[in-house]
Structure 1
Amino acid sequence: MNLRRLKYFVKIVDIGSLTQAAQVLFIAQPALSQQLATLEAEVGQQLLVRTQRGVTPTEAGKALYRHAQIILRQCDQALSDMAAAGQGLSGQVSVGMAPGTAAATLALPLLRRVRARHPGILLYLNESYGTTLSELIMNGRMDLAVLYGDKAIHGLKFLPLVKEALYLVGPATEPQPGENIRLEDLREVQLLMPRPYNIVRKLVNEAFMRAGMTPRVVAEVESAITLTAAIADGLGSTILPASMARGFVASGMAWQSRIVEPVIEAPLALCQSDHLPLSEPAQAVREILLELVSDLHVDTDPGFPSEKAMALASAS
């Protein structure tokens, strides 16, 4: 399979138009169409369907698109590694950080330490929700991510770091129930929560279900700005990991109470592909990430302290 044709194919799918792809690639459209036809003949499959709006990939085309992105990325990394041989580590490394988590506190120290140790590495930091980050890693478009989650997923592997306790966060205009609040006492609390696919929402739903209760969710909000404003306006409370809850309390517009009986915890983990090898620069960044875990100041489970995370890091 010709790498140039793969590049052409990926560009066509990205743009969704043969005409526009030809313009971007500085190649005549008939020549681009011929390259596509040759590729389809090589793989023995129709890869694109032409419509009035442009082109869309077939199921076979979608499969090839996923693999082509990984192949081309690895080729670029191979060229970078060869060019940098004997000159120190260099190349691009992408790291995702789930927003509103303890991972956010790692971003600046990670940037500092990578620049100090490996100035040739170009670090790309991406703050997105965990579902988006995990998809990028599965597709080979991101190297590492720090996010909530620890259950095995096909295509991904997780290294547990710490577990953060969950807190009820309420408006400052209402009295705080105390430093701790029992899950039973949340039965009638009006909650502003993310959608059910969010890991924190899943943990809350599971805890309520085990207690024979249903959370009283009055609105589903995934914007931190909107959530902050809604709580300040007294429209409801929310449940957040310790690191994010502290940010709300620091604004002076909210209070936090740790949920107990039972305690609910969100597992923070380092996520990477379970089948795609990390490049040398990505391995170096991974080692630095694990070093920085010891500096995390989070409200953790006594049975899962940061020392255990460091033991895992040392063993990896």
Structure 2
Amino acid sequence: MPLTPWNAFVEVCRTGSLRAAAEATGFTQPGLSRQVAALEREVGVRLLDRGPRGVTPTAAGAALLPHARLVVNEARRGRESARTATDRPATLVLGAVPSATASVVPRAIGRLREAGGPEVTVVSRLTPELSPMVLSRELDAAVVTDAPPGLPRDEGLRATHLYDDEVVVIAEPGHRLARGRRIDLKRLAGETWIEDNVGSEVMLRQLAARAGFEPQVSSTADDLLAKTGMVAAGLGVAIVPAMLLPALRSDLAVLRVRQPVLRGIYLLARTDRSDLAPVVDALSAA
């Protein structure tokens, strides 16, 4: 069976959109649909549901998806192995949560490069998305956190603790509490809180409950960049990890909280990988 239909199916499942998958693979949308249809004919069942809100795998498609990822990724690794055999530099595919890709990961890549280590390709996703990508060999490893919903529990994965990261509050520069000293979170009880993902909102609600108030949450941001932009525009305040601070835009104030919550930062890899000690060392040093 040709590899192209498998790759088309994986991309549609990843993006949730035939149009976005077509752009990612270089096909026209009808051409991509024909590739997926070819795979459905070969397998003998319908693999995708096409609805007004996007494309989702059927039960059969969800069952096939991890195997399809394995097929696509092993083919990619085969090509890389062949290229490495001709003395091209090896490539490490590293996933990371968005806050890590803005700070810790680039510094670690610099250390690896100075030490003559592998070239690194970075993929930015949230922790729940990264763990299946590591399992399916789409990623060699991933920098993840134990923030809600927590670390994945799978016998095929190993999480190596790197360090603990403080959660801070960001606000517009002229905020009444932007005075440089730690604050009680309850003093922000009347604020609008900008959130960009479910895990961060769960953490916010846990922090607020501990401080004795119910936060007013506005889920208007789709990602971390939009979240910081909305805060800078005075639309509310937000929690962010301290690891983001070196890359934070200058028109924001940082409010540190008394009795702050910490989230653990880990390198997630398959248990059969024993060659990642230099990556762990570089990330810990960074």
Structure 1 counterpart of 2:277: 287
Deviations 1:239-264 (CA, angstroms, capped at 9, x unpaired): 2222324544x61x22222111x321
Structure 2 counterpart of 1:188: 190
Change (3 A) 1:123 1:7: same
Amino acid in structure 1 at the alignment position of 2:93: S
Change (3 A) 1:145 1:103: farther
Gaps of 5+ in 2: 13-17, 19-27
SS at match of 1:235: coil
Aligned length: 262
SS at match of 1:107: helix
Q: Report the alpha carbon displacement of residue 206 of structure 1 after superposing the two structures with TM.
A: 1.6
Cα distance in 2 between the residues matched to 1:129 and 1:75? 25
Change (3 A) 1:135 1:205: farther
Q: Report the alpha carbon displacement of residue 100 of structure 1 after superposing the two structures with TM.
A: 2.5
Structure 1 counterpart of 2:231: 231
Q: Report the alpha carbon displacement of residue 192 of structure 1 after superposing the two structures with TM.
A: 1.7
Amino acid in structure 2 at the alignment position of 1:183: L
Gaps of 5+ in 1: 25-31, 41-45, 297-316
Report if aligned partners of 1:10, 1:65 keep a CA contact under 8 Å in 2.
no
Cα distance in 2 between the residues matched to 1:247 and 1:79? 35
Report if aligned partners of 2:95, 2:123 keep a CA contact under 8 Å in 1.
yes
Does 2:94 match 1:104? no
Amino acid in structure 2 at the alignment position of 1:98: V
Q: Report the alpha carbon displacement of residue 96 of structure 1 after superposing the two structures with TM.
A: 1.5
Does 2:108 match 1:146? no
Alignment of 1:82-97 (within 5 A): 91-97=90-96
Structure 2 counterpart of 1:137: 134
TM-score (norm 1): 0.65
Task: Calculate percent identity across the aligned residue pairs.
Answer: 17
Amino acid in structure 1 at the alignment position of 2:221: V
Structure 2 counterpart of 1:164: 165
SS at match of 1:117: coil
> Which of the numbers 253, 256, 263 marks the counterpart of 1:255?
253
Does 2:13 match 1:7? no
Change (3 A) 1:191 1:152: closer
Does 2:31 match 1:20? yes
Cα distance in 1 between the residues matched to 2:50 and 2:194? 43
Structure 1 counterpart of 2:241: 241
Cα distance in 2 between the residues matched to 1:224 and 1:52? 29
Alignment of 1:217-228 (within 5 A): 217-228=217-228
Amino acid in structure 2 at the alignment position of 1:165: E
Change (3 A) 1:21 1:193: closer
Report if aligned partners of 1:204, 1:264 keep a CA contact under 8 Å in 2.
no
Please report the RMSD computed on the Cα atoms of aligned residues, expressed in angstroms: 4.0
Q: Report the alpha carbon displacement of residue 269 of structure 1 after superposing the two structures with TM.
A: 1.4
Structure 1 counterpart of 2:15: none
Deviations 1:186-217 (CA, angstroms, capped at 9, x unpaired): 3223322223x23x332222222244421222
Report if aligned partners of 1:94, 1:124 keep a CA contact under 8 Å in 2.
yes
Amino acid in structure 2 at the alignment position of 1:73: N
SS at match of 2:121: strand
